[in-house]
Structure 1
Amino acid sequence: MTHRFAGKNVAVIGGTHGMGWATAQALVDQGARVLVTGRNPANVQAARTRLGERALVQQADVASLADMDQLVATLREAFGALDAVFVFAAIAAFDPIDEVTEASFDRHFAINTRGAYFAMKKLAPCVRDGGSITMTTVTPATATPGMSVYMGSKAAVGSFVRSFAAELLSRRIRVNAIAPGFIDTPSLGLPDLTPAARAEISALGDAITPMQRHGTMAEIASAALFLGFDATFCTGIELAVDGGLSTVDGPG
């Protein structure tokens, strides 16, 4: 087992399930000390068990500024400073325009947009000069029906990434984003769908992705670690991890 991240302190916001958990697990496996957050108490407890003693797992809602302030205090006490931050916390709901409610709209923007912004703002002072912040947006492919609010909330994050990258140049902190396409997570990022509807979305993803398959959580983790640690001449970019969905014509 290699320990390429030995001595590194990392925070994974939204790291108790899905792509965030895969990234946190890869960091722990390779020697990092990791602080992981999640909203769901069951997921938080499961992550404590799976990630082991090298991970500090804390329940926190990225939409709560009080929770983020407490997180910063915990980070300062436990780690002192961070080498990298990864922000995966997000929600997604499949809502056609005529079914979108004010509550659903506000919740998406509270977590995906406002939450992402203030996570960057509050955690940036914890990052060592020369470190990195990696956000999560969404593949810049053709818009998907029923996902207007989600796509809008993530488009704003792409703008935040470029602005923070410019503002943090003086500290040599790189700020980038992963832009996933269809990824094979337990819920496909849509936990409110029925199993039948989720299977339909999964089949659609395989059909329209040029590589004719979903990406894996491990592939997202690999891309995240690349941006966080290896892409030392990249800042302000969105890396599409989408099987060619945004860039390549599919077969036939």
Structure 2
Amino acid sequence: MQNLTGKVALVTGGNSGIGYATAKELKQQGAKVIITGRRPEAVAQAAAELGVVGRVADQGQVTAIEELAAYVQATHQRLDILFINAGILDGASIEQATEQAFDNVIGVNFKGAYFTLSRLIPLLNDGASVVFLSSNTAHLDGANSSIYSSSKAALNAVMRIAAVELAPRQIRVNSVSPGPTQTEILKKAGYNEQQLQGLNQWMTDRIPLKKIGTAEDVAKMVAYFSGEAASFITGAEIIMDGGMSLNTKH
């Protein structure tokens, strides 16, 4: 399906996981895609595999976001689709939390996402689509998730306000909140294979559909939000967690 032919899309954190899958889906639907990431080698490899433009940019640095905006302005002049996806994880309890962990997670997941939207708004075409990657943890109360969950809850608040502010230009702003998804983020957070297996089993037991989602599931939802079928949807959060949020056994 070439639903997005002629559209210019930017995916932050597009070199792996959900961002990679979404860049692939958007390209398959006809969009011209730019991906960003912090690691030059990973960005270059992903861009080559996907056949898209890769750009090194750290979402945790506002100066890097502003440089990214200048690059998009110079090379494409406009954006039709913005998927603010880059994020990091920390699993400390509130008692054991460090200031560095707090600043890292909030700096990328909330502050970075906020200023990515802020600095790229002037480049958004009227009628553009913005999608934030949130998380079902924004609504759950799991131990050792306070910093990450707070960053995503804050993101949802910004999403709703941005939807109001940008509505006069017909720019739609929504968020996708996955539950457990098969990506590399937990490995990056330091979990080993045995821990991952135990965590996957623990999560599957709490998901009514008894399976863990895929990055491709989320990619299809982002593409849907970016197309004509979602032209009357803004300020919405879609929770994609196999019913985990419905389950009382947390």
Q: Tell me whether the two structures share a fold, i.e. TM-score over 0.5.
A: yes
Cα 1:42–1:144 change in 2 (3 A) is farther
- Provide, for residues 52-75 of structure 1, a one-character-per-residue CA deviation record: whole Å limited to 9, x for no partner: 1xx110010011111111111111
Number of the residue aligned with 2:160:
162
Counterpart of 1:228? 226
The structure 1 residue matched to 2:176, chosen from 175, 178, 184, is 178
Aligned identity (percent) is 32
Deviates more, 1:133-142 or 1:57-66: 133-142
How far apart are the structure 2 equivalents of 1:170 and 1:12?
Answer: 24
Cα deviation digits, residues 103-149 of structure 1 (max 9, x gap): 00011111011001101101111110011110011115432211111
The residue aligned with 2:40 is 41
Q: Please report how far the alpha carbon of residue 231 of structure 1 lies from its aligned counterpart in structure 2 after TM superposition.
A: 1.4
Is the aligned partner of 1:63 residue 2:60?
yes
1:85 aligns with 2:44: no
Distance in 1 (CA, whole Å) between partners of 2:49 and 2:178 is 24
Q: Aligned-pair distance for 1:173?
A: 0.4
CA distances 1:221-248 after superposition (whole Å, capped 9, x unpaired): 0111112223111111111011111236
Name the CA distance, whole Å, in 1 between partners of 2:131 and 2:216. Answer: 16
CA distance in 2, matches of 1:187, 1:239: 21
Residue 42 of structure 1 and its aligned partner are, at CA, apart by 2.8
Look up the equivalent residue of 2:8 and give its one-letter code: N
Instruction: Give TM-score scaled by structure 1 length.
Output: 0.93
TM-score of the aligned structures, taking structure 2 as reference length: 0.94
- Contact conserved, 1:65 with 1:118, CA < 8 A, in 2? yes
The question of whether the paired residues in 2 share the 8 Å contact of 1:176 and 1:227 is answered with yes
Separation in 2 of the partners of 1:175 and 1:61?
22
Task: Supply the distance in 2 between the matched residues of 1:32 and 1:15 (Cα, whole angstroms).
Answer: 14
Contact 2:9 2:31 in 1 (8 A): yes
Trace 1:1-252 onto structure 2 (pairs within 5 A): 2-52=1-51, 55-139=52-136, 140-188=138-186, 191-229=189-227, 230-247=229-246
**Residues 188-232 of structure 1, C-alpha deviations (whole Å, 9 max, x = no match):** 475321222122111111110111010111100011111222311
1:249 Cα deviation from its structure 2 partner: 6.5
Q: What's the C-alpha RMSD, in Å, of the aligned pairs?
A: 1.6
Alpha-carbon distance, 1:30 to partner: 2.3
Deviations 1:64-96 (A, max 9, x none): 111111111111122111111001111002112
Where do 5+ consecutive residues of structure 1 fail to align? Answer: none
- Partners of 1:225 and 1:27 in 2: CA distance: 6
| Cα deviation digits, residues 138-188 of structure 1 (max 9, x gap) | 115432211111001111000000111110011110000001101111344
CA gap 1:189/1:10 in 2 versus in 1, 3 angstroms: farther
Q: What amino acid is aligned across from residue 195 of structure 2 in structure 1? A: A
Question: Secondary structure at the residue paired with 1:99?
Answer: coil
Q: More displaced, 67-76 or 184-193? A: 184-193
- Sort the Cα spacing of 1:141 and 1:211 in 2 relative to 1 into closer, same or farther, 3 A: farther
Aligned 8 A contact 2:132 2:159 in 1: yes
| Whole-angstrom CA distance in 1 between matches of 2:5 and 2:89 | 34
2: distance between equivalents of 1:145 and 1:209?
Answer: 17
Query: Which runs of at least 4 in structure 1 moved beyond 6 Å after TM superposition?
Result: none
AA aligned to 2:46 is A
Q: Secondary structure at the match of 1:98?
A: coil
String of CA shifts for 1:6-45, please: whole Å, max 9, x gaps.
Answer: 2110111111110011000111222211111001223212
Aligned length: 247
